[in-house]
Structure 1
Amino acid sequence: MNVTKRTGMITLVLTAPLLLAGILGLGWFAFIVMNGTFLCVLVIDYLISRKHIRYKLTRVSSTTYSLHAREQMGFEFENRCPYTLKFVLRDEKPDFGLQYHCNYINGQVPAGEEKRFFYEITPKKRGDHKFNKVWVKKTSMLGLLELHDEWHLPFEVQVYPNVKKLSNYKMRLVKSRRFLEAMRPTRLKAKGHSFESLKEYTSGDDYRSINWQATARAMHPIVNEYQLENNQRIYLMLDIGRTMSYTVKGFRKLDLVINTAVVLSDIINQSKDLVGLTSFDHEVATSLVPSKGPMHRKRIVESLYKVEASMSEPNYQQAWLSVLKREKHRSMMILFTDFETLQDVNRFVEASAIVLKKHVVIVLMIEDESIKQHSLNDKESIFVQGTALELMHEKKKIIKKLASHGVFAAMCKPETIEMTAINHYLEAKAKLTGM
């Protein structure tokens, strides 16, 4: 309990009569009477306020937040007092995984009314975050005291990968020629695809697609026309090992990769393909078979929102084996990882020999632009500039080495990794289907 500014002002106002009483020789008498009276008023204000101040406080918020997006935590304040209630509300900070722009609220609610108040939070860490205590500092009925209450309002929020940009990507893709081609049914004159129709033979048609029964009836060559099966199987492979724990432009690489995986899985489903998911470090952490639909998307998000990077080195062979056990058809593997040296690439190629022969493999790595900045900064020492240039050349060699083994490899900027991943998927899909 504290006194308010009003109490301080009244005390100052009473100082003048006390000084006058002191001049008249009534100082002690006036001091005792005035202070005693004022103290009685304070006690009465406290007792009445404790008895008659009634209000209800409840949390109002979504139970799911998006990573690195501004979210709101709110409260519904119901004033059951016969007068306007002024208050200051402060929420308990659950942990370091949330950035508070301001975790207290100044407000007032008229008598008998309800109001909602909000403050903003930016989640910096995926997973579960628990709120509990709320402290309320309210003004007494006469406005002389500040009374304190402590509320226990347990509330749990789940922070998921940020997919709020997904609608923007979908709008951009609708206008994309490459996406329209991916969505368009494709007729191929080859085996291994769904039969579509019959047509007259023309120069360039594969003689193996001639339908001999139809040819005999028509008395001229007729060939089968096939339509490409659109439900290709796409695997998203997420390295959650040591290199994914690094930070780029204030974001952890793993968070960027997980956001991209969720966005890309939606785009893959929209392209009528099936998407599977595998996350791994030295062992396989998550494995989802390719599928599609809202329930499968929910399974992908649920399996990723608590994933944390480890300090282990990735075991690519173990990850590939978990996929190859159930995948017998030619598929597309999109791997999010990072290679620091050519030796890392050699180990990857050795562990991926079977996969590279049978499947289409895309490797996406996140570019650290600070290396380039160090190489161009004249204020840096020659040693720092030289090291940065050496790292840049090493990355170029890594891309070239992967390409020599038939891998679609690319360095992605942190701010455009989602769109880069989508474009590489559509490009590889076009090559895989012969478009």
Structure 2
Amino acid sequence: MKNIYSLFYKDLFLTNRLFTGLGISVVIFVLSFFFPWLGVIPALVFWALVLLFLIDVLMLYKTAKGVFAKRYAPERLSNSDENELGVYVENWYPFNVSIGIIDEIPFQFQKRDIWFKTTLKPHERKLISYSLRPTKRGEYEFGDIRVYAKSPLGLIRRRYTFEQAETLPVYPSFLQMRKYELMAISNRLTDIGIKKIRRIGHSLEFEQVKNYVAGDDYRTINWKATARQGNLMVNSYTDEKSQHVYCIIDKSRAMKMPFEGLSLLDYAINASLVLSSVALIKEDKAGLITASEKIGAVIPADRKSSQLNKILEVLYKERTRYLETNMELLYSTVRTVIKQRSLVVFFTNYESMNALNRQLPYLKRIAKFHLLLVVFFENTELKTLSEKQATDLEGIYIKTIAEKFAYDKKLIVKELAKYGIQSILSAPQNLTINTINKYLELKAKQKI
């Protein structure tokens, strides 16, 4: 019996409407001292309020389960994307109820204002949708759903608690990957900023000899076949396939820097995942290497249908480390793992020429055997400061320092080009598009 009463009090909440009614009752009692003609009116108002309170309690508590709620969530969340979730609610009361819903979302979002309000008719059902944008990979723990039901009288609320505790993993941005996949399949990559690259010449992979039609390149005419057939015949070529594309991700402290809630490592991971997906659609082989002071994951390049899931599972677990990358060990791994000439995309970050110079000897060695593409980040905050007009001595000092760092980034691009190393200097938010553009450009120019 004690349990029932404790639960009753625990789940009963008084509303502002009840307090307003009590306030009015108190005011009338006070006025009755100055206006005796009010008589029994104050007592009638008070006991009417008490009666309405008891009726409201009876309305909400006579039904054991007046409402039902359940959370609808995907099996996993996509990092840096808006993920759709929903709370399904159903009214089992024979009257209209006002509903307030609290969904206990993971602490990582640091939101304490998740409160949904709605009204339900008898036996009506609703799905309330909302979205969450995680900025870190890992496990996110959701708690219970708490529903506060209020009758048309509105003097109290009854709380219902639905145990919905669950843990959802946050993976690298697979929603972004799917978007690029669909556009690559339908040749609509230009819709999201991917440039259409004009092919120069043709690939070396011969496909067939076919009849000449208007528009064919006359340089591909096969004179021997023409002489045999008596009609103009041309050689047909197709894109070279099964080229190897390796993403190497630097996990050192240089990739810890945050931008719009995500670390540079997360931007590199998202871009690697999308690049691997597009490469597989283009019938190339995709591989992955992660490195810091020691080598992390190594996935040899392949075109199997399971390759992308394998890469996704590995990237999900990667974390930033706090030591510098061991470039000697990385070079040794590249030489051991990558057996043929490949496109090697190295995601890292350099803030100064000194940082580049420490790694340059190893980058030059890798570039001897592979087509090396170094991808690093533009510091957008420094760029904004360098473009801002200085108004005082301190502003001039800050602007000068910012311009110096921005200039160093451009020098790094020139230094890499001097040794035949391709590079991309990109703002974090444009990293994926710029990386895919460069991949398609290199593929079109047959540099791989």
TM-score normalized with structure 1 length:
0.80
Q: Which amino acid aligns with 2:86?
A: G
Residues 7 and 410 of structure 1, relative CA distance in 2, 3 Å threshold = closer
Identify which of 117, 120, 124 aligns with 2:128.
117
Q: Partner of 1:338 in structure 2?
A: 349
Identify which of 382, 400, 411 aligns with 1:371.
382
C-alpha distance in 2 between matches for 1:79 and 1:289: 55
Q: Partner of 1:428 in structure 2?
A: 442
Q: Partner of 1:214 in structure 2?
A: none
Q: Is the 8 A contact 1:100 1:121 kept in 2?
A: no
Q: Which amino acid aligns with 1:230?
A: K
Identify which of 276, 299, 316 aligns with 1:288.
299
Identity %: 24
For 1:105-144, what aligned pairs fall within 5 Å after superposition? 105-140=116-151, 142-144=153-155
Q: Is the 8 A contact 2:203 2:240 kept in 1?
A: no
Identify which of 138, 147, 160 aligns with 1:149.
160
Q: Which amino acid aligns with 1:416?
A: N
Q: Which amino acid aligns with 1:171?
A: R
Residues 382 and 94 of structure 1, relative CA distance in 2, 3 Å threshold = same
Q: Is the 8 A contact 2:371 2:447 kept in 1?
A: no
Q: Is the 8 A contact 1:282 1:312 kept in 2?
A: yes
Q: Partner of 1:305 in structure 2?
A: 316
User: Secondary structure of 2:89's partner?
Assistant: strand
User: Secondary structure of 2:354's partner?
Assistant: helix
Residues 376 and 107 of structure 1, relative CA distance in 2, 3 Å threshold = closer
Q: Is the 8 A contact 1:103 1:120 kept in 2?
A: no
Query: RMSD between aligned alpha carbons?
Result: 3.7
Identify which of 398, 407, 411 aligns with 2:412.
398
Displacement of 1:391: 1.8
Q: Is the 8 A contact 1:320 1:355 kept in 2?
A: yes
Q: Partner of 1:61 in structure 2?
A: 73
For 1:33-72, what aligned pairs fall within 5 Å after superposition? 35=46, 38-39=49-50, 41-52=52-63, 53-72=65-84
User: Secondary structure of 1:383's partner?
Assistant: helix
C-alpha distance after superposition, 1:32-54 (max 9, x if no partner): 67645643553453245223152
Displacement of 1:158: 2.9
Residues 336 and 32 of structure 1, relative CA distance in 2, 3 Å threshold = same
Q: Which amino acid aligns with 1:2?
A: F
TM-score normalized with structure 2 length:
0.78
C-alpha distance in 1 between matches for 2:30 and 2:241: 94
Q: Partner of 1:90 in structure 2?
A: 102
Instruction: Give ranges in structure 1 of 5+ residues lacking alignment.
Output: 199-203, 206-223
Q: Which amino acid aligns with 2:401?
A: T
C-alpha distance after superposition, 1:47-69 (max 9, x if no partner): 45223152211111223333333
Q: Which amino acid aligns with 2:274?
A: V
C-alpha distance in 1 between matches for 2:339 and 2:206: 18
Q: Is the 8 A contact 1:317 1:352 kept in 2?
A: no
Check if 1:75 corresponds to 2:103.
Answer: no
Residues 32 and 415 of structure 1, relative CA distance in 2, 3 Å threshold = closer
User: Secondary structure of 1:398's partner?
Assistant: helix
Q: Partner of 1:407 in structure 2?
A: 421
Residues 117 and 187 of structure 1, relative CA distance in 2, 3 Å threshold = closer
Q: Partner of 2:290 in structure 1?
A: 279
C-alpha distance in 1 between matches for 2:259 and 2:30: 68
C-alpha distance after superposition, 1:167-191 (max 9, x if no partner): 457513599542x749x9x453xxx
Q: Is the 8 A contact 1:72 1:119 kept in 2?
A: yes
Q: Is the 8 A contact 1:100 1:120 kept in 2?
A: no
Q: Is the 8 A contact 2:83 2:131 kept in 1?
A: yes
Identify which of 354, 359, 373 aligns with 1:348.
359
Q: Which amino acid aligns with 1:123?
A: P
C-alpha distance in 2 between matches for 1:120 and 1:225: 50
